[in-house]
């Protein structure tokens, strides 16, 4: 298993290096002049030129690329050319908010998606199956910004059940920062009121973000379970008289879960990218809103850092998923070896 | 029990448990601080950037020698109790009020003012642009504990008008945080060193996400003007317009930005606990034309376009009459405008005649014209779409290109890269025609976004330069009026309206006092009714 994990880690390295180069190229082709933006509304061409020189933006592009790779490898993302603050600090400040939202969405997607997929499969072509399939298609087709606004109108404005925006009530304020995750930090601070308030704020954005993932997981669970139901050992289990619930949850689901775990790895990336729109609408101060501001202001340093950090997180999650698969099904590691 | 019902029951149970635990009315009334929902600047350093959001920090956490208040804005002595000017307009002396304290409790002296101006000029960022052509750092000196002298390299009449741009900072707080000769800029980006009426809490500050302010009881202007000044302010910008409006209606924020979409005005006013503050500002909406690119290097072609924009339709129907028609480059409510100035009218027959004349002179009227709009600002898109439809009626093909402010302004540094047309506003940075016609149509500013029409008229250049250097207000007024007539006759751009600033406010906010400089964000004037 250790060799398998090491092999997986080594395989991630070229991808990460490629990501460093790719993000640099992409960041330089986005429209806008960061020096002009930084100089501000009343700047003269001379001021803009001075800033361009100060940030090395006047150097040949290849030289800038080499400097960039060296800086990233030493963990130096430079300063945001817009706020003047170290980009790493800003990203670290914002990353937990995005991760908290993404994990919550993933939790909802798995919590509801797996049982729905299971129900659909064991009711193959029945009314529940049709309903779940309809929901799956809807979940994938619905635009997240539309759903977000509808949820806000219903649960915050009409029913007054949930808050509209932000991570906690303004009057309560954030808990002392330890991890940056509001829920964890609230518990660490012993503030149950903040914890509950944080959950309340998390529900609507997490549901909005989870829907496409939920639909995907339900579909994959359904097809995985349907496949397993055709296996001989299931026929045998039925023959020896196992109850349907036990059969479905212990025998069938366990064998179908490998497929779902693979999907979780892929979904994680989709959820983080989906967080851009959801964060903007729910005013969630994570990397999504940070990216939007960086794009509008052509803050390429910030964009580079966000893309790299998300890429690293995505790679790490995928390595974890691969390991989890190997733990669930040791044949996976043996096949690779 | 069947398998389905067991799984469904499990799911329903989980949902019900979550509902019991977490769904509770979320907007229970409780005493809240003022929650300000307007945009925050990218940096707190008042000498590093100058844009509309940065004025909120400048007005509340810092003070300047003079300050604009009211509408139309009046320039009133602030940190300075008075000033005097030499006859040649080169030497300006300012006297500080006595007893001014910074937020750290130290006294403000003339040396602090000198440091602030030298820091501004040394960093040479946007707020310095108004001063650097005429003021060298060594020519700002303290002539006494409370007196400061500025010696300009040439007479510059808008000098006093631009003085409020400069925040006076506390060098004793900044000095320990200077790194690599950066004037403490990296540190001050997330901290404050001012004397302003409100103190920013750096511990809770997150760039463009949150900023907490506490009232500074020792502010030199005192607080006797209010019975219950606001002690705590939480600035929480809301990114999305729809969420911002909903947050106001729901009571989660007390103020939106001052660009409330016109289609939301009625909705906000219908709500019992919110209102809309409508104030005529000094912010002109403009469709630029690149006068160095054909066909816009032809005056008839420019006049054709100027007559093809449906001013009334846009202002009255799309913007629901919540703006004021502005026919020239300066805001209507500013001096220096000819009283009888008429803007162009929408008349497609006339437009066609001008276009035919331009075409006969060889102007490539038939080529596709690009108009760049700012994707995040819906009005720029609406204006371009309406214009596109009308131009099509006279055979002109207008292509709308989605861009960003950063993208467009980067392109305006050269005539060749400046778009054929683009849409934007010119806001109030200082209250002087220099801020509008001066910097937009004097060819010495070519290469800046403000002068991106690339207009060149020697007579206008001469008039604007004379107006800039004259200290005789009546003469300046006359010169700007003359220049305005010439510019409007040449039609280098399409001036559409002067903004009516629309800010959604909670009714508990009292004393909101709009000024075009700062857009009414001066917290010191406000109180809460509960």
In this prediction, residue A64 has a pLDDT band, given cuts at 50, 70 and 90, of confident
Tell me whether strands B421-426 and B369-374 are parallel, antiparallel or unpaired: parallel
Distance CA B116, CA B121 (A): 9
Report pLDDT for B494: 98
Q: Which of A268-277, B296-305, B312-321, B448-457 has the lowest mean pLDDT?
A: A268-277
Distance CA B257, CA B275 (A): 13
Compute and round to an integer the Cα radius of gyration of chain A: 24
Distance CA B124, CA A53 (A): 14
Report pLDDT for B459: 98
Tell me the average pLDDT of chain B. 91
High-pLDDT (> 70) share of chain A, %: 94
Q: Is A248 on the interface with B (CB under 8 A)?
A: yes
| pLDDT value at B18 more than 60 | no
The residues with which B144 forms a beta bridge, in sequence order, are: B147
Look-up of token digits 């829907």: A211
- DSSP secondary-structure letter at A113? H
Q: Is A262 on the interface with B (CB under 8 A)?
A: no
In this prediction, residue B25 has a pLDDT band, given cuts at 50, 70 and 90, of very low
| pLDDT value at B510 more than 70 | yes
- DSSP secondary-structure letter at B296? T
What would the DSSP string read from start to end of B375-432?
TT-HHHHHHHHHHHHHHHHTT--EEEEEE-HHHHHHHTTSTTTS-SEEEEEE--SSSS
Q: Which of A302-306, B437-441, B502-506 has the lowest mean pLDDT?
A: A302-306
A156 part of a folded domain:
yes
In this prediction, residue A324 has a pLDDT band, given cuts at 50, 70 and 90, of confident
Contact: A37, B209; criterion CB under 8 Å: no
Judge whether B66 and B163 are in contact, CB under 8 Å.
Answer: yes
In this prediction, residue B14 has a pLDDT band, given cuts at 50, 70 and 90, of low
Determine which of A30, A37, A41, A282 to mutate to test the interface with B (most B C-beta atoms within 10 Å).
A41
Cβ-proximal residues to A256 (8 Å cutoff; 6+ apart), any chain: A221, A224, A225, A227, A228
Report pLDDT for A281: 93
Q: Which residue has the higher pLDDT, B6 or A277?
A: A277
Judge whether B197 and B518 are in contact, CB under 8 Å.
Answer: no
| CATH number for position A135 | 1.10.3720.10
Cα distances (Å, whole numbers) of residue B85 to B94, B151, B155, B430: 9, 10, 11, 19
Judge whether B483 and B441 are in contact, CB under 8 Å.
Answer: yes
Q: Is A287 on the interface with B (CB under 8 A)?
A: no
Judge whether A326 and A335 are in contact, CB under 8 Å.
Answer: no
| pLDDT value at B36 more than 70 | yes
Give mean pLDDT, residues B82-109: 96
| The pair of three-digit structure tokens given for residue B302, joined into one six-digit string | 């420019």
| The pair of three-digit structure tokens given for residue B519, joined into one six-digit string | 């857009």
Range of the domain at A208: 94-277
Give mean pLDDT, residues B473-482: 96
A200 part of a folded domain:
yes
Distance CA A225, CA A215 (A): 15
| The pair of three-digit structure tokens given for residue B90, joined into one six-digit string | 């080169």
Nearest CA in chain A to B377: A296
* ipTM entry: 0.79
State the nearest Cα–Cα gap between A36 and chain B, in angstroms.
Answer: 6
| pLDDT value at B458 more than 80 | yes
Chain A CB contacts of B411 under 8 Å are 33
- For residues A41, A44, A46 and A50, what is the CA-based torsion angle, rounded to 10 degrees? -10
A333 part of a folded domain:
no
Cα distances (Å, whole numbers) of residue B365 to A33, B120, B298, B348: 30, 46, 10, 15
Distance CA B427, CA B30 (A): 37
Q: Is B33 on the interface with A (CB under 8 A)?
A: yes
Distance CA B343, CA B285 (A): 13
| pLDDT value at B423 more than 60 | yes
Distance CA A160, CA B251 (A): 12
Cβ-proximal residues to B228 (8 Å cutoff; 6+ apart), any chain: B527, B528
Distance CA B242, CA B240 (A): 6
State the nearest Cα–Cα gap between A227 and chain B, in angstroms.
Answer: 19
Give mean pLDDT, residues B439-467: 95
Report pLDDT for B13: 52
Chain A CB contacts of B128 under 8 Å are 47
Which residues 21-40 on chain A approach chain B with CB closer than 8 angstroms? Answer: 31-34, 36-40
Q: pLDDT tens digit string along B220-233? A: 999 999 988 999 99
Contact: A282, B247; criterion CB under 8 Å: no
In this prediction, residue B395 has a pLDDT band, given cuts at 50, 70 and 90, of very high
Look-up of token digits 């361009």: A52
A324 part of a folded domain:
no
B326: left (phi over 0), alpha (psi -120 to 50) or beta: beta
Distance CA B403, CA B399 (A): 13
Give Cα A31 distance to the centre of its chain. Answer: 26
Find the helix or strand (DSSP H, E) in which B213 lies: strand B211-215
| The pair of three-digit structure tokens given for residue B102, joined into one six-digit string | 């910074």
Report pLDDT for B490: 97
- Compare CB distances from A280 to B125, B234, B240 and report the shortest one's residue: B240
DSSP 3-state of A45: helix
- For residues A99, A37, A84 and B233, what is the CA-based torsion angle, rounded to 10 degrees? -70
Report pLDDT for B29: 43
Q: b/e for A92-125, b at 16 or more Cβ within 10 A?
A: ebbbbbbbbbbbbbbebbbbbbbbbbbbbbbbee
Distance CA B79, CA B97 (A): 6
What would the DSSP string read from start to end of B469-505?
H---HHHHHHHHHHHHHHHHHH--EEEEEEEEEEEEE
- Compare CB distances from A289 to B127, B239, B409 and report the shortest one's residue: B239
Q: How crowded is residue B367: how many other Cβ atoms within 10 Å of its Cβ?
A: 12
DSSP 3-state of A236: helix
Q: Is B23 on the interface with A (CB under 8 A)?
A: yes
A291 part of a folded domain:
no
Q: pLDDT tens digit string along A230-287? A: 888 888 888 888 877 777 777 777 777 777 777 787 788 888 888 888 999 999 999 9
| pLDDT value at B30 more than 50 | no
A8 part of a folded domain:
no
Report pLDDT for B26: 46
Tell me the average pLDDT of chain A. 84
Chain A CB contacts of B27 under 8 Å are 160, 163
Which residues 108-137 on chain B approach chain A with CB closer than 8 angstroms? Answer: 124-130, 132
Select, from the ranges A122-131, A231-240, A325-334, the one with the highest average predicted confidence (pLDDT). Answer: A122-131
Cα distances (Å, whole numbers) of residue A2 to A186, A330, B83, B197, B344: 36, 12, 77, 61, 77
Q: What is the pTM of this model?
A: 0.83
Report pLDDT for A243: 76
Q: pLDDT tens digit string along B234-243? A: 999 998 889 9
- DSSP secondary-structure letter at B315? I
In this prediction, residue B457 has a pLDDT band, given cuts at 50, 70 and 90, of very high
Q: pLDDT tens digit string along B348-371? A: 999 999 999 999 999 999 899 999
Chain A CB contacts of B8 under 8 Å are 119
Find the helix or strand (DSSP H, E) in which B91 lies: strand B91-96
Which residues 447-506 on chain B approach chain A with CB closer than 8 angstroms? Answer: 447-450
Q: pLDDT tens digit string along B164-221? A: 999 999 999 999 999 888 899 989 999 999 999 999 999 989 888 999 999 999 999 9
A196 part of a folded domain:
yes
Q: Which of A124-133, A179-188, B301-310 has the lowest mean pLDDT?
A: A124-133
Chain A CB contacts of B214 under 8 Å are none
Judge whether B383 and B355 are in contact, CB under 8 Å.
Answer: no
| The pair of three-digit structure tokens given for residue B96, joined into one six-digit string | 């500080």
Under 8 Å CB pairs connecting chains A and B tally to: 194
How many CA atoms within 13 Å lie on the side-chain side of A4?
18
Contact: B128, A161; criterion CB under 8 Å: no
In this prediction, residue A43 has a pLDDT band, given cuts at 50, 70 and 90, of low
| pLDDT value at A75 more than 80 | no
Q: Is B231 on the interface with A (CB under 8 A)?
A: no
Give mean pLDDT, residues B299-320: 96
The domains of chain B, with CATH numbers, are 47-187 (3.90.76.10), 198-279+502-528 (3.40.190.10), 281-500 (3.10.105.10)
Please return the burial class of B275, using the count of CB atoms within 10 Å of its CB with bins 0-12, 13-18 and 19+: middle
DSSP 3-state of B81: strand
Q: Is A158 on the interface with B (CB under 8 A)?
A: no
Cα distances (Å, whole numbers) of residue A238 to A113, A222, B2, B159: 25, 19, 16, 91
How many CA atoms within 13 Å lie on the side-chain side of B445?
24
In this prediction, residue B31 has a pLDDT band, given cuts at 50, 70 and 90, of very low
Q: pLDDT tens digit string along A181-191? A: 999 999 999 99
The number of folded domains in chain A is 1
Q: Which of A171-180, B89-98, B105-114 has the lowest mean pLDDT?
A: A171-180
Give mean pLDDT, residues B102-109: 97
Cβ-proximal residues to B292 (8 Å cutoff; 6+ apart), any chain: B415, B418, B454
Does B251 sit behind a cis peptide bond, omega within 30 degrees of 0 on the bond before it? Answer: no
DSSP-based helix, strand, coil % in chain B, nearest 5: 35, 20, 45
Chain A CB contacts of B407 under 8 Å are 31-32, 298
High-pLDDT (> 70) share of chain B, %: 94
Q: Which residue has the higher pLDDT, A263 or B391?
A: B391
In this prediction, residue A41 has a pLDDT band, given cuts at 50, 70 and 90, of low
Give mean pLDDT, residues A145-172: 93
Does B72 sit behind a cis peptide bond, omega within 30 degrees of 0 on the bond before it? Answer: yes
Which residues 162-201 on chain B approach chain A with CB closer than 8 angstroms? Answer: 185-186, 189-190
Cβ-proximal residues to B209 (8 Å cutoff; 6+ apart), any chain: A285, A289, B40, B236, B237
| pLDDT value at A50 more than 90 | no
In this prediction, residue B27 has a pLDDT band, given cuts at 50, 70 and 90, of very low
| pLDDT value at A200 more than 70 | yes
Q: Which residue has the higher pLDDT, A315 or B397?
A: B397
- Compare CB distances from A280 to B30, B239, B411 and report the shortest one's residue: B239
Q: Which of A42-51, A266-275, B146-155 has the lowest mean pLDDT?
A: A42-51
| pLDDT value at A28 more than 50 | yes
DSSP 3-state of B323: strand
| pLDDT value at B393 more than 50 | yes
A306 part of a folded domain:
no
Q: Which of A300-304, A305-309, B381-385, B424-428 has the lowest mean pLDDT?
A: A300-304
| pLDDT value at B80 more than 60 | yes
In this prediction, residue B52 has a pLDDT band, given cuts at 50, 70 and 90, of confident
Contact: A44, B239; criterion CB under 8 Å: no
In this prediction, residue B6 has a pLDDT band, given cuts at 50, 70 and 90, of low
Cα distances (Å, whole numbers) of residue B4 to A5, A115, A235, B490: 39, 10, 20, 78
Q: First vs last Cα of chain A: how many Å apart?
A: 9
Q: Is B377 on the interface with A (CB under 8 A)?
A: no
């Amino acid at each position: 298993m250790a060799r398998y994990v090491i092999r997986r880690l080594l395989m991630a390295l070229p991808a990460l290096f490629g990501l460093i180069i790719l993000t640099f190229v992409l960041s330089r082709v986005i429209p806008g002049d960061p020096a002009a933006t930084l100089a501000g509304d009343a700047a003269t061409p001379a001021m803009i030129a001075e800033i361009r020189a100060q940030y090395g933006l006047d150097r040949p592009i290849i030289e800038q690329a080499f400097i960039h790779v060296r800086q990233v490898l030493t963990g130096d993302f430079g300063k945001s050319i817009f706020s003047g603050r170290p980009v790493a600090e800003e990203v670290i400040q914002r990353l937990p908010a995005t991760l908290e939202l993404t994990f919550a969405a993933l939790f909802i997607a798995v919590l509801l998606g797996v049982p729905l997929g299971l129900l659909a499969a064991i009711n193959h072509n029945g009314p529940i199956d049709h309903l779940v399939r309809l929901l799956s298609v809807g979940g994938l087709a619905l635009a997240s910004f539309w759903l977000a606004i509808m949820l806000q109108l219903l649960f915050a404005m009409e029913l007054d059940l949930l808050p509209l925006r932000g991570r906690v009530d303004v009057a309560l304020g954030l808990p002392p920062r330890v991890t940056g995750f509001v829920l964890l930090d609230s518990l660490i601070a012993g503030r149950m009121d903040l914890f509950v308030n944080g959950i309340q704020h998390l529900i609507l954005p997490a549901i909005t973000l989870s829907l496409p993932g939920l639909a995907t997981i339900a579909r994959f669970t359904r097809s995985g379970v349907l496949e397993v139901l055709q296996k001989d050992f299931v026929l045998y289990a039925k023959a020896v008289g196992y109850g349907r619930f036990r059969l479905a949850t212990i025998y069938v689901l366990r064998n179908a879960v490998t497929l779902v775990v693979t999907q979780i790895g892929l979904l994680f990336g989709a959820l983080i990218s989906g967080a851009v729109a959801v964060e903007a609408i729910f005013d969630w101060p994570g990397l999504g809103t940070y990216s939007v501001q960086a794009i509008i202001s052509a803050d390429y340093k910030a964009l580079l850092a966000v893309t790299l950090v998300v890429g690293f997180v995505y790679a790490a999650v995928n390595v974890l998923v691969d390991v989890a698969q190997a733990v669930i099904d040791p044949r996976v590691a043996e096949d690779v070896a | 029990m069947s398998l389905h019902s067991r799984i469904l029951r499990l799911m329903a149970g989980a949902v019900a448990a979550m509902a019991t635990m977490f769904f509770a009315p979320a907007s229970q009334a409780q005493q809240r601080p003022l929650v300000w929902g307007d945009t925050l600047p990218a940096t707190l350093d008042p000498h590093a950037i100058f844009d509309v959001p940065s004025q909120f920090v400048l007005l509340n956490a810092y003070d300047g020698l003079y300050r604009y208040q009211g509408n139309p804005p009046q320039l009133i002595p602030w940190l300075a109790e008075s000033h005097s000017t030499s006859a040649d307009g080169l030497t300006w002396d300012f006297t500080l009020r006595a007893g001014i304290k910074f937020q750290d409790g130290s006294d403000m002296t003339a040396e602090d003012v000198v440091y602030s101006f030298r820091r501004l000029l040394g960093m040479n960022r946007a707020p310095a642009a108004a001063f650097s052509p005429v003021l060298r750092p060594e020519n700002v000196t303290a002539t006494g504990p409370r007196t400061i002298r500025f010696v300009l390299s040439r007479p510059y009449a808008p000098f006093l008008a631009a003085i409020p741009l400069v925040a006076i900072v506390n060098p004793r707080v900044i000095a320990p945080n200077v790194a690599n000769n950066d004037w403490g800029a990296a540190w001050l980006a997330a901290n404050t060193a001012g004397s302003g009426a409100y103190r920013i809490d750096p511990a809770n500050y997150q760039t463009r996400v949150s900023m907490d302010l506490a009232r500074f009881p020792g502010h030199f202007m005192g607080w006797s003007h209010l019975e219950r000044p606001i002690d705590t302010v939480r600035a929480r910008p809301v990114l999305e317009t729809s969420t911002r409006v909903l947050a106001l209606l729901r009571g989660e924020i007390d103020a939106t930005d001052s660009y409330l979409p016109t289609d939301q005005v009625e909705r906000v006013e219908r709500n019992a606990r919110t209102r809309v503050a409508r104030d005529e500002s000094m912010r002109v909406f403009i469709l630029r034309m690149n006068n160095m690119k054909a066909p816009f290097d032809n005056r008839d072609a420019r006049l054709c376009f100027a007559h093809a924009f449906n001013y009334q339709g846009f202002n009255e129907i799309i913007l629901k009459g919540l703006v004021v028609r502005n026919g020239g480059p300066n805001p209507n409510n500013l001096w220096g405008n000819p009283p009888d100035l008429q803007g162009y009218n929408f008349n497609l027959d006339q437009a066609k005649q001008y276009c035919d004349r331009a075409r006969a002179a060889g102007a490539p009227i038939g080529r596709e014209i690009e108009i760049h709009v700012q994707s995040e600002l819906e009005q720029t898109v609406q204006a371009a779409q309406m214009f596109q439809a009308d131009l099509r009626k006279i055979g002109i093909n207008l292509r709308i290109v989605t861009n960003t402010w950063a993208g467009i302004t980067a392109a305006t540094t050269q005539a060749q890269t400046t778009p054929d047309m683009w849409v934007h506003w010119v806001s109030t940075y200082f209250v002087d025609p220099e801020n509008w016609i001066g910097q937009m149509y004097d060819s010495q500013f070519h290469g800046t976004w403000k002068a991106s029409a690339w207009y060149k008229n020697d007579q206008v250049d001469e008039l604007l330069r004379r107006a800039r250097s004259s200290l005789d207000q009546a003469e300046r007024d006359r010169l700007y009026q003359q220049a305005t007539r010439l510019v409007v006759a040449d039609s280098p751009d399409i001036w559409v309206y002067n903004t009516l600033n629309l800010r959604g406010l909670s009714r508990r906010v009292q004393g909101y006092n709009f000024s075009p400089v700062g857009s009414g964000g001066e917290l010191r004037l406000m109180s809460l009714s509960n």
